[in-house]
Amino acid sequence: MINMKVDIGGIKLKNPVVTASGTFGFGREYAEFYDLSKLGGIVVKGLTLEPREGNKPPRIAETPAGILNSVGLQNPGVDCFIKEELPFLRRYDVAIIANIAGNTVEDYCRMAERLGSHADGIELNISCPNVKEGGISFGTKSDSVHNITRRVKEYCEVPLIVKLSPNVTDIVEIAGAAEEGGADAISLINTMLGMSIDINTRKPVLANMVGGLSGPAVKPVAVRMVWQVAGSVNIPIIGMGGISCWQDAVEFILAGADAVAIGTANFTNPYAPLEILEGLKKYLIENKFIGINELKGRIEY
Amino acid sequence: MVGVEKTMQHVGKVLQNIGICENVYEILIECPKIAEESKPGQFLHIKVNKGIDPLLRRPISISRINRDEGSISLIYQVIGKGTKEMTGFRQGDDIDIIGPLGNGFSIFTGSKCAVVGGGIGIAPLLELASCISDCDAYLGFKCSTFKLGEYKAACRELHIATEDGSVGSMGYVTDLIKNINRYDIIYTCGPKPMMKKVKELCEKSSVKCFVSLEERMGCGVGACLVCACRIKEGDTWHYKKVCADGPVFEAGEVDFDD
């Protein structure tokens, strides 16, 4: 029996495959496809203190091996999540991680307070590129990352994961600030800021002009950043960015990730998380590892 | 590779994939499970090739459902990379499908109905028209026409408009609708200005109207929230999902002025 269990800063996952925020809603849609208990964890759609309608459409542009999105945190608000969505998710044996975003540090604190121990973990979204206030503006300077992490941590009853933006000069510095601020774990990468222009209309494809790039196109950047961060922090890492098959997941774990998140791949292949989990197990068996933890950071130089 | 059971993802067999007019193709797919479950107005989410470019599936509305033969037909217009790729499907090819998706049209038996379609919007209305016993069709094309024979067989009256006047009347399809109040229900699909006009005509005469919307999609199942459309609720509005809340909406709730 291969040991697939991982511990992400106190969040116990029965396997290292989680679904990424914003690509999996609140689980309901994919529950039609398979038993959600098969997943290690679900990171829910980004929540805000009040409900949000999000940005004007078009909200998606396809690019080579990737997509740009500018959804803009459309969500029913944290209270509605706790009341209407969480009971459904709790029917499954799967760790639930609440992704939170706000306009101010106080917003984040109040959300962490309201979530209490309803979820198994909180993912601090300081890296959303699609909202005017808050979001990414908290995540690109190390002193502000340190400050928001420290402040929100005071209100957390469950482990706190800080989700990092790749749109920074030095990811190692930012990761260090999150760790010093008291983060229990780090997840990376959020989407990369991008743009697409329709040459026939000469207009930006996205109504929001710019959006976040995800999908296989960003994978090498994500692997590099996970590798850099893994070499510099001592807290667990959830790696993500363009993972669409088990080979991609192995690459992230070799780079130093403890767990992996599957995002855009859900759109094309709803069964991707399960296939990736099966593929990981097979790889471990074939390469004579007894557990997933043994593979972490085992890149050879 | 590995044993993951995929109960919601199907592999169909391409029976035929042919051009039926300029830049418009019809693909006939054998897939008994989908044929059995589908209803008019729903769509299929198609993987156009095995690679990662284009990355996303393409949502294509169902045009015909042949339950006896276990097949479905989709009509698509070649617009971009994905639909161009779709023209490469050959007889005997496997095709990876998620679906049927979306809500589909509500059918009210005993009502006098009409479908009003423009361009590629004519495709999803065909199966609907054939399911309604008393249905007229108003179809608008730019120049070359398609599926007129099947529409003629499915409908009582067939009214055609082309922008260049090559077939039927010259002008817009909305100009052809006289006495709209003789209908109980109108179903429409096509360019937004056309659907907006149909909605206005129906509102003036208090005729029930359903529209089928189109928007760029990601997941197609309601998780990613990219295919937003503005839906009125009382004095306020919300973004709803074209893929999962639609693609069919009551015309009165759709905000075409957004």
**Pairing of β A95-100 and β A66-69:** unpaired
Examine the pLDDT at B234 and tell me if it is beyond 90: no
User: B145 and B51 in one domain?
Assistant: no
User: B195 and B177 in one domain?
Assistant: yes
Task: Name chain B contacts of A59, Cβ cutoff 8 Å.
Answer: 216, 225-228
Residue A210, domain member (yes or no)? no
User: B140 and B42 in one domain?
Assistant: no
- The ipTM, to two decimals, is 0.94
Residue A87, domain member (yes or no)? yes
Residue-level pLDDT at B79: 93
Cβ separation A271–B53 shorter than 8 A: no
- Taking chain A (301 residues) in runs of 10, the rounded mean pLDDT of each run is 96 98 97 97 97 96 97 96 98 98 94 97 86 72 94 98 96 98 98 96 96 98 98 98 98 98 98 98 96 96 92
Residue A60, domain member (yes or no)? no
Residue indicated by tokens 């592999």: B11
Residue-level pLDDT at A200: 93
Examine the pLDDT at B51 and tell me if it is beyond 60: yes
Distance between B218 CA and the closest CA of chain A, angstroms: 6
Give tens-digit pLDDT for A258-297. 999 999 999 999 999 999 999 999 999 999 999 999 999 9
pLDDT band at residue B258 using 50, 70 and 90 as cut-offs: low
> Distance between CA atoms of A158 and A121, rounded to whole angstroms?
5
Residue to substitute from A21, A246, A268, interface B, most B β-carbons within 10 A: A268
Q: Which domain holds residue A138?
A: 6-54+73-193+215-294
Report the pLDDT averaged over residues B104-131: 96
> Distance between CA atoms of A104 and A278, rounded to whole angstroms?
41
What is the CATH classification number for the domain harbouring A100?
Answer: 3.20.20.70
User: B185 and B117 in one domain?
Assistant: yes
Query: Into how many domains does chain B fold?
Result: 3
Examine the pLDDT at B204 and tell me if it is beyond 80: yes
Q: Which of B254, B242, B216 is CA-nearest to residue B82?
A: B216
User: B128 and B62 in one domain?
Assistant: no
Q: Is A198 on the interface with B (CB under 8 A)?
A: no
Cβ separation B226–A71 shorter than 8 A: yes
Residue-level pLDDT at A132: 63
Residue-level pLDDT at B109: 87
Residue to substitute from A50, A59, A70, A262, interface B, most B β-carbons within 10 A: A59
Residue A64, domain member (yes or no)? no
User: B166 and B142 in one domain?
Assistant: yes
Cβ separation A71–B53 shorter than 8 A: no
Percent of chain B at pLDDT exceeding 90: 92
Residue A160, domain member (yes or no)? yes
> Distance between CA atoms of A244 and B111, rounded to whole angstroms?
49
Residue B20, domain member (yes or no)? yes
> Distance between CA atoms of B161 and A173, rounded to whole angstroms?
65
Domain boundary among B50, B83, B101: B101
DSSP string computed for chain A: --B--EEETTEEESSSEEEPTTSSTTSHHHHTTS-GGGSSEEEPSPB-SS-B--PPSP-EEEETTEEEE-----B--HHHIIIIIHHHHTTSSSEEEEEE--SSHHHHHHHHHHHTTSSSEEEEE---TT-SSSGGGGTSSHHHHHHHHHHHHTT-SS-EEEEPPS-SS-HHHHHHHHHHHT-SEEEE--PEEEE-EETTTTEESSTTSEEEEESGGGHHHHHHHHHHHHTT-SS-EEE-SS--SHHHHHHHHHHT-SEEEE-THHHH-TTHHHHHHHHHHHHHHHTT-SBGGGTTT----
User: B92 and B53 in one domain?
Assistant: yes
Residue A118, domain member (yes or no)? yes
Q: Is A51 on the interface with B (CB under 8 A)?
A: no
Percent of chain B at pLDDT exceeding 70: 99
Residue B120, domain member (yes or no)? yes
Examine the pLDDT at B191 and tell me if it is beyond 50: yes
Examine the pLDDT at B74 and tell me if it is beyond 90: yes
Query: Into how many domains does chain A fold?
Result: 1
Neighbours of A194 (CB within 10 A): 22
Catalytic residues of A: 128
Adjacent-strand bridge partners of A3: A291
Task: Name chain B contacts of A264, Cβ cutoff 8 Å.
Answer: 55
Helix (H) or strand (E) holding B184, with range, is none
User: B161 and B109 in one domain?
Assistant: yes
Task: Name chain A contacts of B224, Cβ cutoff 8 Å.
Answer: 22-23, 25, 60, 69, 71, 267
Residue-level pLDDT at B218: 97
Residue B2, domain member (yes or no)? no
Sign of the alpha-carbon torsion through A150, A155, A161, A162? negative
What is the CATH classification number for the domain harbouring B258?
Answer: 2.10.240.10
Task: Name chain B contacts of A53, Cβ cutoff 8 Å.
Answer: 238-239
CB A23 within 8 A of CB A197: no
The more confident residue out of A1 and B252 is: B252
Residue-level pLDDT at A112: 98
> Distance between CA atoms of B28 and B23, rounded to whole angstroms?
17
Distance between B59 CA and the closest CA of chain A, angstroms: 11
Residue B3, domain member (yes or no)? no
User: B207 and B217 in one domain?
Assistant: no
Neighbours of B69 (CB within 10 A): 12
**Residue A76: cis peptide before it, omega within 30 degrees of 0:** no
Residue-level pLDDT at A243: 98
Helix pair angle (A171-181, A219-230), 10° resolution: 50
Task: Name chain B contacts of A270, Cβ cutoff 8 Å.
Answer: 8-9, 98, 219, 221
Cβ separation B218–A29 shorter than 8 A: no
Residue B187, domain member (yes or no)? yes
Residue B118, domain member (yes or no)? yes
Cβ separation A268–B238 shorter than 8 A: no
Cβ separation A59–B216 shorter than 8 A: yes
Residue-level pLDDT at B1: 45
User: B95 and B63 in one domain?
Assistant: yes
User: B91 and B122 in one domain?
Assistant: no
B170, two tokens = 């010259």
Residue B1, domain member (yes or no)? no
Q: Which of A115, A107, A114, A109 is CA-nearest to residue A133?
A: A107
Residue B143, domain member (yes or no)? yes
Examine the pLDDT at B2 and tell me if it is beyond 60: no
CB A189 within 8 A of CB A221: yes
Q: Is A227 on the interface with B (CB under 8 A)?
A: no
Examine the pLDDT at B106 and tell me if it is beyond 90: yes
Percent of chain A at pLDDT exceeding 90: 95
Q: Which of B7, B52, B238 sits opposite A65 (nearest CB)?
A: B52
Report the pLDDT averaged over residues B154-175: 94
Residue A273, domain member (yes or no)? yes
Q: Which domain holds residue B126?
A: 105-212
User: B219 and B202 in one domain?
Assistant: no
Distance between A291 CA and the closest CA of chain B, angstroms: 19
What is the CATH classification number for the domain harbouring B124?
Answer: 3.40.50.80
Give tens-digit pLDDT for B82-94. 999 999 999 999 9
What is the CATH classification number for the domain harbouring B28?
Answer: 2.40.30.10
Residue to substitute from A29, A250, A264, A271, interface B, most B β-carbons within 10 A: A29
Residue A183, domain member (yes or no)? yes
